[in-house]
Each structure stands twice: as C-alpha cells, then as structure tokens.
Structure 1
Amino acid sequence: MTPEMKSKLHRIQQGEAPRVLDIFSGCGGLSLGFEAAGFQIDANIEIDGHAAASHAYNFHRDHPRHEQYAVARDITKTLPHQLADDLGLGPVREAVDVIVGGPPCQAYARVGRSKLREIQQHPEAFLHDQRANLFEMYLAYVAAFQPLALLMENVPDIMNQRGQNVAQVMAEALEDSGYTVGYTLLNAAFYGVPQMRERMFLVAYRRELGQRVVFPAYTHHVELPPGYESSRRVALKSLNRPDLFATGADHHYIQPPTPDPARAGAITAQEALHDLPVIRDHLEGRLKRGVRRFEDVDPLPYRGPAKPETYAHLMRHWPGHEAREGIRDHAIRYLPRDYPIFERMQPGDQYPQAKQVAVRLFTERLKEARKQGQDVTRGSAVWERLLEDTVPPYDDSKFPNKWRKMEPDRPARTLMAHLGKDSYSHIHYDSRQARTISVREAARLQSFPDGFVFKGTMNPAFRQIGNAVPPLLVKPIAQTMLAALIAGAANYSAGQRRREPESA
C-alpha cells in the first residue's frame, strides 16, 4: 500500500469525512447524495457552464476559491494536476478519497483492455489523447488520484452498448488495477424517490480494504410498469452472452435487492408536489412568453405546513439546503395552444390520447365559428387558423410517448435531459392547473431539496435536473460505501498494530 493510501485511511480512521471528487458532476445529484451520507465534497469537474455554476453555488459558495469552482472545465483538456492546483487540493495522489461520476453515455468506441492498461501506467499522458472516450477519461482520473473507493453511474443500456458490456469492461480494468468491483441495476422508486428511474451503479474499493461490494436494501416498494421490466431484461441479456464481455462469461454483476411488498409504498407524484403553490397565471392571461430569471421574482409561499416524516417536509428541511423563504423557481413554460388539451387529458394519457382531445376541441371550435357565420370550409383561412391554434402537428403514430399526463397515485416516469427543450413528458396531474410541471416540481421529482439552487434560466435549469442522478437514490449507496471505508480503515489499523510488535 502506498504512503498516500495509508494517509487517507488514517484520516478516515480518525473520524474525518472522506473527500469526494465528482467527475461529470452536472449540478450535483451525486454530490448531494454523498454529502447527505457524511462525505465532504472537495472537487468536481463539469463542462456545462450553468451546471458548473450550480454545483459551485450549492457546495462551495463560501469557499475562498468559489470562482474557480464555478469554472466550466472540459475533462479532455484538464489534467488532474491542473484541477488540483486550481482548487488548492494539494498533490494529486493525496487529494481525494473517493471519485464518483457518470460519464455521458453517447456512442463510444470499443474499450480495449490494452488501452486500459496504458491508462493505468500513464494517466496524464493518456489524457492528451484526443481519440479517448469519456469512460477512458474517467479511468485516467482514477489512475491519477488513486481513490480508496469509487462509484460510476450510467443508463442500463451501458451493459449492452454497441455489442459490448462497458460496465463489465470497466469492472475488469479496475480489478486489474487493484480494486474489488461490483455493479447492478437499481430503480430510484425503491429508495423513496417519486420517480421510476432505472440506472446502473458500479462500486469499487481498494483491495487492501478487505471489503466486498454490496448494495443497500430497498426502503420502498412499487410494481414497475411493463416498460421498465422489459428494459431491465434487455440490459440483463448481456449476462448470458460471453461475447459482450472482455474475457468470457465471468462477470461482476450483483443481483439487485429483493423487492419486499411489506415495505412502505413508493412516494407518489401527489405526495411529492401537493404542497407547492397552485399555478394558474397562464390560464388567466398573466403569463407571458420570454426568458424568466428566478432571482428576479419574489419567493412563493407554500400551500401550508408539511407534516414531519413526509416527503414534502424533507424537501423543505434538507440539512444544509433548507428553503427558508419559499421558492423562486416554480416557473412553467408558455404553451397557450395546449392548456385546454392538458385540462381534458386523463392521468396516464399519452400523445395519441392528447391528439384525440385536440381534434375534439378543433371540431367544437369549428362549430362555434360556423354559428358566428364564418367560413369554416376545409382549407379556408379560419379553418387553417383554428387547426394551427388547436391541434399539435406531430404524428401520433411516430411520437406516442412525446406527451404524458402524470398519475397522482404513482411515482412519475423517468425525467430526461429533454426537459431542457420541452416538458410534455410530465404534464401535471391536476387538470385545474392545466400545465406541464415547473422547474421546482421537476426538482422535487428528482429529490432535489427546495433550497437547492439551479443557476441559469428555465431551460438550462430543466436540463440540469433531467441530467442529474436523484440524491435520495445516491444517499443509501453512499452510506453503504462510508460504512465500508470506515470498516476498511479500522481493519487496516488493527493489522498495522498486530504487525508492530513483530517488526520491533
């Protein structure tokens, strides 16, 4: 074991919080989950300017180097020692104890095992290679910082990415470099997040810690819709296909915890959002098109107190991220054509049903115009105007999932980065409000507390939220990792004491 690792273990054994570097951090979903579990968020790297600013504000706003934390950095152009110097972390191999991150999951070239060995031997030299993919960049940072533990998060499809199980390749590369590794698939709804979001998590510990990888038991229970179960089955097909692995059929996959119907039911959309202010400005002509900056509006009060031990209470009173003045980002998109459609849709309806509602509205408006003596023959100016003002132009056979009205008694479906462009995938279940979800409601569905600030205007904020990992899903994983680090540090310290008399 290197002197740097011994020093890290000594810190933890003395009760100090493990220091985290969050790579591809976004606004900080992983960071927030680890912070809530007792870790110290010491550094991050993020290429998006708005997300980098959000992370800096929420985790380092009082730090003397706050401006450096807010800088957007491209990992392909930022060497580990440069990041450590910019943030005042000290020598790279001593700087952090844990690395977390979710490399963006665009199409990657095949990850070769020989290349991974090259990364381990010369991480900073490798980072100059512009042909590298982002998974390789992640491994290069691991090789440079030499953490005691790490976590990687990604979509389930990473287990079958262009004919390759990238999670398994990563596991084998980490095992080659001295880590004990395991990965699994987890759904956020089983951990108290009001959203059915399936993700792959890979965890690794330095072998010297003597810890095996385990994942936390579920805290909640939900019957997942067929689509989620089938997606998981597709990802798991790789486990029976040796050709998707780097070295044959042996793999590091760990079965997820067993669902327990005796657990509390999953947090529903209504439980998550019921106490937030009603929005009807758009229905009363008081919402205008244009950019909305959250800091320019007065905070809105809640609809009433939140009972202790409820999801709403946690979102209002998350330690370190409390909402003391109400909320400023309860903002929605300007979609006047679609408000009447939202009002008539039923919970669970998707775009085909929305299109049917729109056609009925169009027919009603044609009749009203005809009563007024207007020319409403097909193709007339009035007919064309009413069609444009009433019916969305998308083909309902090609975009069946483009719209969805949430069900109040179920967790929401997966929030996507596409929220940055539109919010039709999450139409509010309350027909009286007839709208898509607000920025703050999206944050609630991702389990971001109300005091967490998203920098930028509405579209960048939605994108940051859609890209994030739910903090409440991360927290129990981080708690399990913290227990393993503490146990590993204690085991190492005890082993050292046993060896001291022999050496004397």
Structure 2
Amino acid sequence: MVVLDLFSGAGGLSEGFFRQGATFVGHVEVDNYACQTLKTRKAYWKLRKQNKLDIYYDYLLNKISNTELLRLANIDEEHEIINKAISEDTMNDIYKNISINIKRNKVKKIDVIIGGPPCQAYSIVGRARMKESVKNDHRNFLYKFYVQFLEKYKPKIFVFENVPGLKTAGNGEYYRHLQIALENAGYHLEEQEMVASDYGVLQTRKRIIIVGIRKRKNQKNFPKVIFSKIILDKDITVNDVLRDLPFTLPGNKIEGENLYVENTNKYLELSHIREKDFNILTQHETRPHNDRDREIYQEAIIAWDERKERLCYSELSRRRPDLCTHKNKTTFTNRFNVIKSDQKASHTILAHMAMDGHYYIHPDIKQLRSLSIREAARLQSFPDDFYFEGPRTSIFRQIGNAVPPKMAEQIAKKITDLL
C-alpha cells in the first residue's frame, strides 16, 4: 500500500497506516515541530523494520541525539518529510519531492492519499472564536489543493478526515463544494461520522471520514465502507490509561527506565499504548499552575467525586469569590473540567489544551494539576514509544489536532481490505 499523507500534523492518521505496512512517499506538513515529530516517528518505523529498535530506545533514553537517530535510521529529512505550506507557490516543489520518494521507494504509483486540511475554520469552537473573520479564512479552501493532488496522482482510494462542523460551516456551502469537487475528480464518495470511543479509544472525539473510491468506466456498484468497531470489556475505564503512571505535581518532568508504578494492563496492550516488555517512560511532563488555580482544581474534583457535577464558574464565584479573577461569569462558565477516571471515555482532547490545562484536570485530588503530555497522548491512543518534538505548548497542540492512532488503525485496515 503506497500512501501520500497531506496536512500530516504529528502523524496520528499515518500511524494507523504504518501499522498496516504502508510505504509512504511523502508527509506534507507546514508546522516545523510537527515535521520534527514525523521524522522521529519515521525513524522508529524504519528501525523497527530492520530489527534495530535498540537505536531508537537509546534516543528515548537520551543516549544519542536526534541528529544521530535520523542519520542511523537513514532519514532523508528534506524529501521524506516535506515541511511546506500547501499553496500555489509550493505545489511544484512538493510534486518534485514526491517524485524523488517514488523513485527511491521503487514504486510506480500512489494507491492512497490520506489527510485533512486544518479544522479550525470548520469547527464550531473555532467559528465561535473567529466570528466574522472565519468567512475569509484561507483554510476554508485548502480542500481545493487536496483535490489537485487527487487529479495529479489518481490514487485508487483517498481518506479525507475532518471535524463534524465541516458539514455546517458556511451554512453547508463548503461541504457541498467539497463533495462536488471530489466527485468531479472521479471518485465515488462514502461518508461516515466516527466516534473514537467506538474504535478502541477512551475518548468521545468525533470525526467525519470521507472515503473516495476511484470510479472505473461504467462502474455502478461500489463497496459499502464500514469501519470495524471495537467492543471493549465492560470493566475498562479511563483510569486504565492513567493508573500505571507515577504520581507527579505541576511543573514537573519524569522520564527514564523502570518508572511505571504498575505493570501494563489489558487495555494498554490492546490499544498498543504500552506493550508488555516496554519500560521506558518519556514526556510525563506537566505545566506549572499557580496556587489559586490548584484550589479551583480541588473544588472541581470534589464537585465530581461527591456530587457527579461539573464545576460551574458562576457558582464558584458565589461560594469562593476569592478564587475568581475572570470578570465574565455568564459565558464559558464550564472552563474547568475534570477527566472522569471512572467513565468509559473522556471528553475530547483539543488543541486548545496548548493554551491552558483547566479543561483537562487530572482526577487525583492529591496531585491538583492538569494532564501531563504523556497522559494526553495516551487518551489520544498514542503509544508510549511515540516521541513528540518541540516545546510543551507545541506538543499539546500536536496531540490535540491529531487523529487517534487506534481509530486510524481501524480506518487503515478497511482501506487495506478495499484495495
């Protein structure tokens, strides 16, 4: 399966296709830190194929540099990971890089194109924040470049991923134009709204997936695209994602070997988050919090543990006015939210987590902090051996923008069957 990945982000969607043995002829991504993450992950998959993962583990343990890792894994940084914005000005350069990768991998053509344009302009939260400016946001029209890649490479199948808000943005105008453009490019469309918790991810994240199947002459019948759901054991809860990680406090970082406080469990193994023999913890790193925020976190945890209620900011301002600094007490009153460890799935991990951690409070009242990088990654089903590059803020953004790898794996399995 030869794959081209557009608008790659940190590689959540491509991770699912790596697991199906895909050969990639390019990952195209504008964000520099996300591209560094993609290079590191590409090194993992190359070294794994060569039975040389000890080199990758040396990197996780800070025994070798990232430069040395990429050299030993023979990563062509310029061509394999294409760090460019997709635009009229860059298309020819991107095509050239893809051609180099096609020749280097000794393949003839691309079977599958995957990816989805940035979703801020389509998401309901993004539209509320951007207000009138959303109408002129260039990201509304990035799908046109996606269509150009389809027209040039004519893959057998494509996977277009985005937020459910895509269907209502611009009163549905963008979605109608997208459908018409994809069909005119020669594809039969199958659309499905996926909830991550149906596919082995302990999170209620929703995504629209459009699968395009290239039409053959006079073809009338097409396979129905249904992704296989994963039914988890009834006793699995969000706590299974968190409980083997060590106790920590705000502004702390824990990394190294033999630091897990429990053996792995059946959910972590099933989701490929932590395999039985893997014992290297990285990026269990928390952001700092001031004392006032930690007191609010305590109130939020008590509200959930004792009353199963979400902390309301307006109510808090009446009971504890000393803790409330926001003048606005009528909107965004739900700005504080606890990860419910006793539930089957957490609320959605969003890129906004890069701005503050109030919406992602760890459930342990003794810790009084927001989620660490590793905890957020786990709730997105990223494996513990997946290393994110860049500063903490960028990493949280990469995690929040990603397709959960376990859900991506189910998508990739179906695409493999279709091919």
1:169, distance to aligned residue in structure 2 (A): 3.6
TM-score using structure 2 length:
0.78
Q: Which residue of 1 aligns with 2:410?
A: 476
- Give the partner amino acid of 1:310: Y
Match of residue 299, structure 2, among 344, 349, 363: 344
Pick which of 35-44 and 454-463 moved more.
35-44
Q: Which residue of 1 aligns with 2:244?
A: 275
Contact 1:99–1:150 at 8 Å: present in 2 too?
Answer: yes
Contact 2:25–2:80 at 8 Å: present in 1 too?
Answer: no
Contact 1:21–1:43 at 8 Å: present in 2 too?
Answer: yes
1:84, distance to aligned residue in structure 2 (A): 1.5
Counterparts in 2 of 1:150 and 1:266: CA distance versus 1, 3 Å: farther
1:325, distance to aligned residue in structure 2 (A): 4.5
Give the 5 Å matches for 1:185-200: 185-200=193-208
Equivalent position SS for 1:81 = helix
Unaligned runs of at least 5 residues, structure 1: 1-17, 109-129, 221-262, 363-386, 486-504
Counterparts in 2 of 1:78 and 1:92: CA distance versus 1, 3 Å: farther
Equivalent position SS for 1:434 = coil
Contact 1:180–1:212 at 8 Å: present in 2 too?
Answer: no
Contact 1:315–1:449 at 8 Å: present in 2 too?
Answer: yes
Deviations 1:351-379 (Å, cap 9, x if unpaired)? 525x65576566xxxxxxxxxxxxxxxxx
1:213, distance to aligned residue in structure 2 (A): 3.6
Unaligned runs of at least 5 residues, structure 2: 44-69, 123-137
1:149, distance to aligned residue in structure 2 (A): 0.6
Q: Which residue of 1 aligns with 2:342?
A: 409
Deviations 1:98-154 (Å, cap 9, x if unpaired)? 10001113448xxxxxxxxxxxxxxxxxxxxx9992010111111112111100011
In structure 1, C-alpha distance between the alignment counterparts of 2:181 and 2:82, rounded to whole Å = 31
Q: Which residue of 1 aligns with 2:50?
A: none
Q: Which residue of 2 aligns with 1:219?
A: 230
Counterparts in 2 of 1:304 and 1:90: CA distance versus 1, 3 Å: closer
Counterparts in 2 of 1:157 and 1:92: CA distance versus 1, 3 Å: farther
Contact 2:201–2:381 at 8 Å: present in 1 too?
Answer: yes
Counterparts in 2 of 1:429 and 1:418: CA distance versus 1, 3 Å: same
1:278, distance to aligned residue in structure 2 (A): 1.2
Q: Which residue of 2 aligns with 1:449?
A: 383
> In the alignment, is residue 78 of structure 1 matched against residue 84 of structure 2?
no
Equivalent position SS for 2:285 = coil
> In the alignment, is residue 175 of structure 1 matched against residue 147 of structure 2?
no
Give the 5 Å matches for 1:14-163: 18-60=1-43, 61=70, 62-70=73-81, 72-76=83-87, 77-79=89-91, 80-85=94-99, 87=101, 89=103, 94-107=108-121, 133-163=141-171
TM-score using structure 1 length:
0.65
Equivalent position SS for 1:180 = strand
Counterparts in 2 of 1:335 and 1:199: CA distance versus 1, 3 Å: same
In structure 2, C-alpha distance between the alignment counterparts of 1:131 and 1:270, rounded to whole Å = 37
Q: Which residue of 1 aligns with 2:289?
A: 335
Counterparts in 2 of 1:95 and 1:158: CA distance versus 1, 3 Å: same
Counterparts in 2 of 1:172 and 1:89: CA distance versus 1, 3 Å: farther
Give the % identical residues: 29
1:94, distance to aligned residue in structure 2 (A): 3.8
1:333, distance to aligned residue in structure 2 (A): 1.0
In structure 2, C-alpha distance between the alignment counterparts of 1:95 and 1:408, rounded to whole Å = 46
Q: Which residue of 2 aligns with 1:302?
A: 260
In structure 1, C-alpha distance between the alignment counterparts of 2:173 and 2:141, rounded to whole Å = 15
In structure 2, C-alpha distance between the alignment counterparts of 1:360 and 1:312, rounded to whole Å = 44
1:165, distance to aligned residue in structure 2 (A): 5.1
Deviations 1:207-265 (Å, cap 9, x if unpaired)? 23974241224223xxxxxxxxxxxxxxxxxxxxxxxxxxxxxxxxxxxxxxxxxx744
Contact 2:79–2:98 at 8 Å: present in 1 too?
Answer: no
Equivalent position SS for 2:280 = coil
Counterparts in 2 of 1:162 and 1:459: CA distance versus 1, 3 Å: same
In structure 2, C-alpha distance between the alignment counterparts of 1:136 and 1:143, rounded to whole Å = 11
Count of residues in correspondence between the two structures = 363
Deviations 1:422-452 (Å, cap 9, x if unpaired)? 1211111111111110000000000000000
Contact 2:40–2:387 at 8 Å: present in 1 too?
Answer: yes
In structure 1, C-alpha distance between the alignment counterparts of 2:400 and 2:140, rounded to whole Å = 26
- Give the partner amino acid of 2:337: R
Pick which of 51-60 and 176-185 moved more.
176-185
Contact 1:81–1:92 at 8 Å: present in 2 too?
Answer: no
CA RMSD of aligned residues (A): 3.0
Contact 1:105–1:154 at 8 Å: present in 2 too?
Answer: yes
Equivalent position SS for 1:395 = coil
Structure 1 consecutive aligned stretches of length 4 or more whose deviation exceeds 6 Å:
90-93
1:35, distance to aligned residue in structure 2 (A): 1.5
